[in-house]
Amino acid sequence: MFSFLRTCGLLSLVLVLSLIHVPPYSVTAAARITIDSHQDGQTISPGLTQLYGTYTDVYEVELIVNGEMVTDVQMDDPDGNDSGDWSYSLDTSQWDGPIEVVLKSKDTGTRYGIWSSFMSLVVDNPAAHIPEVLVTGPAERAMLKAKERVNIAVNSKNSITAVELRIDGKEWIPLASSRDGYSYTWDTRMEAKKVHSLEARATDANGNTGYSPTIYADTRKISNAGELNDAANDMEIGIENDIENDVDSETVNDGSLQMDLESIDSVASVVDSVYESDSVTDSVYEPDSSTEELGELLAEPSPLPDQDRAIWIWETASYHLVRNPNSWPVLSSLASDTTTFNQRPITTLYLGVDQYDGASMLEDYRSEVRQFITWAHGAGFRVEALIAGGTKPPYFGAYTRYRTQAVREFEKVLNYNIASDSEAQFDGINLDTEPYILPDFKTAKPSVQVQYLDMLAALMERKAASGLTFPVGAAIPRWYDTSADASNIPWNGATKWMSEHIQDTADYISIMNYRDQAEGSAGIINHALGEAAYANAIGKPKSVIIGVETKDIADGGDPETISFHEEGRTYMEQELAKVYTAFENDPAFGGVALHHYSSLIDFPSKWGPGGYSWAPPADSEPPTAPAGQVQAVTFDHQRIDLSYGMAQDNTAINDYRIYRSTDAAFSIGPETYAGTAKGLSFKDKGLLPDTTYYYQVTAVDIQGNEGPASSIVSATTGSSTLKPMVIRDMNIEFTDGKAAVSFSVIDRDTGEPVPAKVSGRFTRMAGKYITAATDANGLFQAVSESITAADGEISFEPRRIMASGYYWAGAYDELPYLSVTWGP
């Protein structure tokens, strides 16, 4: 039985992992995670498989499976020392063949990532096998005949019920099998003179559907040689195409198709090169004479446009924008405002198009995307598709073994543009993969660095093959030209800084230049000088975009100094004015990009007295209730997970409010308020064991109008022997330029003090993260960093509380947590 796994997925993870040699992540003795339930390469049966292991000095442990899912695991830590056992019941019935599992968590000391070793498991489940599909002809870039036969090869462990071809994103064309496989005769004379996308898919009797890589076929030059113009051949083609458009399912399902195995292996090796080219100069398809004749048709990249200002819009916001045209004037109002903070207008949108809430934007909402982009162009915006690696988490797309997913995600955008009129096309792609998050970026240098660069080269090759000339930019951290982890990277025949390789390959870069000051050795200006100088040296004007951060990031390991969140919008604009002055005469400078839309909407001028935010258009009409039925799923003894559908509004949805009670007949209000979410899910933590909770969800629009509540849904928490502890008597004051917070940790039921380890952070104008023990009476005290402002506001938010025999029942704290304001 032949195999296309090389071309359509994870070749064989057992083989791939042995060839690539993914090393175990070297961790300190104090922080580690293990997988103890299975051995690497072990074969397992389909169904529920119990994974388990141990963890030491880490928290928030997540399981990552096959680059397709990220989920929290159950953690058992009765001693409250951030060490214990983890477990997860994994349903493997959706996979066949090798799958990769790994765990990621946060170090209790640094709050940066700690990983387990990667493990491959083999699921013996032919019923879930995804059909492997390949367009075997015409060859990419080859000169086409007037009537070109498109050939499709399919490999499946199950009976195939449908094979279909799609040209330029149009309707799927059903194909019938024959002695020569699946084919379709394409009259290229009827097509526009351009590059066309050819995609195939196959579905088996169990409903599994596999998709081919895209082949790009150029009809700008057509060969008359071999044209089927005699009556017999014309009749045969007519009959074949009639059959292909009226397929007899029994014919497709008869299993009689036999294929030339040597031919298939040859095709597979060609497609391997699409995804695994070692160099940006490698030819993915060996050129023939036809390819050489077509070479003159390959357009030069267009000159880079000004991108000032750009803004990242991730899927939490982008799906709302695309699906609700009423929200477009809100975006336009925010982007065009130049007076509230003396800021420049936003002209470029990096629109997130990855999967969200079970939907694929460019497939499931293609019509809506076209309408949005058409409107955006009319309103003066450029719109670039914002993608990452096509995996979950997105940075897995940097690995060679996940190249197929990364290329497919990229091709979705290319194919969307080919299928759309010019006014509805994306103006570029912004690629935000961030491979440095991977554990072996540091420990196995330059392996991940080179794999990422190979991925970038493969994507740029796919752009060239598609005939599209829009710019593709890579988001990179500011330290790709200064850190030891990015230095002396051997690739493509040269040893350079990581940033320089990327600048050689991509059309532009957007530097995640995340600092809260413009000047100084650690400032935004200094950190962009190297990239700008290199861009000028290689002749790429307008190719350096300087990105800045506005969201609250201090919960992670990064310091608060990487974001303007604490300082406010007015201060940020003052610093950005210095950036503009520094680079206004630099040809390499292409503008400033803001991260990101959802945080910018609520970003105040400053915290405390006199602070103000952007004012959205006037509106008094509330939104609808969330669509569909709210889902409530028990996670463990203290957490219930909620999900709900998208609400609609006459302007724009800003967030969702979750209400909770132990009374089935409760009313929504301050007493039952549980929290707020920007997206379509919410983790309700800090609950009591063996307790039934009832929930309702409302939507809130950009003006603060709250819509009607959803229907009530309930779930019951699990059991636990751990006792609940809570916070009482919080106090926060501002004296001598610092905020001081104190509170007591007590047993929720008895009121007795509980000595505990507390982690939390100051927020709003401060951002210092604190981990400290209470005293013997459960009293916690902490002091913020120094704040020199004459007026302001600071609050403190606990993040984790650990004690032997207890868990933190934060939903029963005295809420909301306090803040302190000061000023004249």
On whether both 206 and 266 belong to a single domain, the answer is yes
Same domain? For 511 and 384 the reply is: yes
Q: Give domain status of residue 817, yes or no.
A: yes
CATH code for position 492: 3.20.20.80
Let me know if residue 618 belongs to a domain: no
Task: Identify the pLDDT of residue 243.
Answer: 38
Residues 736 and 760 in one domain: yes
**Cα 313 to chain center, whole Å?**
11
Answer whether residue 740 is part of any domain.
yes
Mean predicted confidence (pLDDT) in 531-539: 99
Q: Which residues pair with 345 in a beta bridge?
A: none
Q: What's the pLDDT tens digit per position in 59-107? A: 999 999 999 999 999 999 999 999 999 999 999 999 999 999 999 999 9
Domain containing 282 equals 132-295
Q: Say whether both 83 and 140 belong to one domain.
A: no
Pairing of strands 160-167, 195-204: antiparallel
- Tell me, yes or no, whether 615 lies in a domain: no
Kindly state the average pLDDT of the residues 487-513: 99
Position 546 in a domain? yes
Q: Does residue 139 sit in the same domain as residue 288?
A: yes
| Alpha-carbon dihedral angle through residues 514, 792, 674, 730, given to the nearest 10 degrees | 120
DSSP-derived secondary structure letter, 628: S
638 and 760 fall within a common domain: no
Query: Are the C-beta atoms of residues 596 and 311 closer than 8 Å to each other?
Result: yes
**Bridge partners, 154 (sequence order):** 133
Domain of residue 740, CATH code = 2.60.40
Tens of pLDDT, residue by residue over 422-478, are 999 999 999 999 999 999 999 999 999 999 999 999 999 999 999 999 999 999 999
Same domain? 260 vs 330: no
On whether both 350 and 406 belong to a single domain, the answer is: yes
Relative to beta strand 769-773, strand 181-187 is unpaired
Please count the structural domains in the chain: 5
Note whether 347 and 446 are same-domain residues.
yes
DSSP string, 100-156: EEEEEEEETTT-SEEE---EEEEE--GGGPPPEEEEEESPTTPPEESEEEEEEEEE-
CATH number of the domain to which 91 belongs: 2.60.40.650
Same domain, yes or no, for 437 and 468? yes
The string of pLDDT tens digits covering residues 207-254 is 999 999 999 999 987 766 544 343 334 434 443 444 344 443 333 333
In a domain, 742, yes or no: yes
Domain annotation covers residue 304: no
Contact 530, 479 (CB under 8 A): no
Give the rounded percent of residues in the chain with a pLDDT score beyond 70: 87
Of 78, 111, 127, the residue at which a domain comes to its end is 127
Residue 608 falls in which region: left (phi positive, over 0), alpha (psi -120 to 50) or beta: left
| Burial class (CB within 10 angstroms; exposed 0-12, middle 13-18, buried 19+) of 775 | exposed
Phi, psi (deg, nearest 5) at residue 456: -60, -40
Res 708: pLDDT: 99
824 Cβ contact list (under 8 Å, min separation 6): 790, 791
Q: Which helix (H) or strand (E) holds 581?
A: helix 569-583
CATH number, domain containing residue 641: 2.60.40.10
When pLDDT is cut at 50, 70 and 90, the band that residue 299 belongs to is low
Give the model's pLDDT for residue 300: 65
Q: Are residues 551 and 589 in the same domain?
A: yes
Strands (E), 245-370: 310-313, 348-352
Tell me the pLDDT band of 164, cut-offs 50, 70 and 90. Answer: very high
Residue 433 lies in a domain: yes
Same domain assignment for residues 699 and 727: no
- Bridge partners of 64? 70, 102
In this structure, what are the phi and psi dihedrals at residue 720, rounded to the nearest 5 degrees? -160, 150
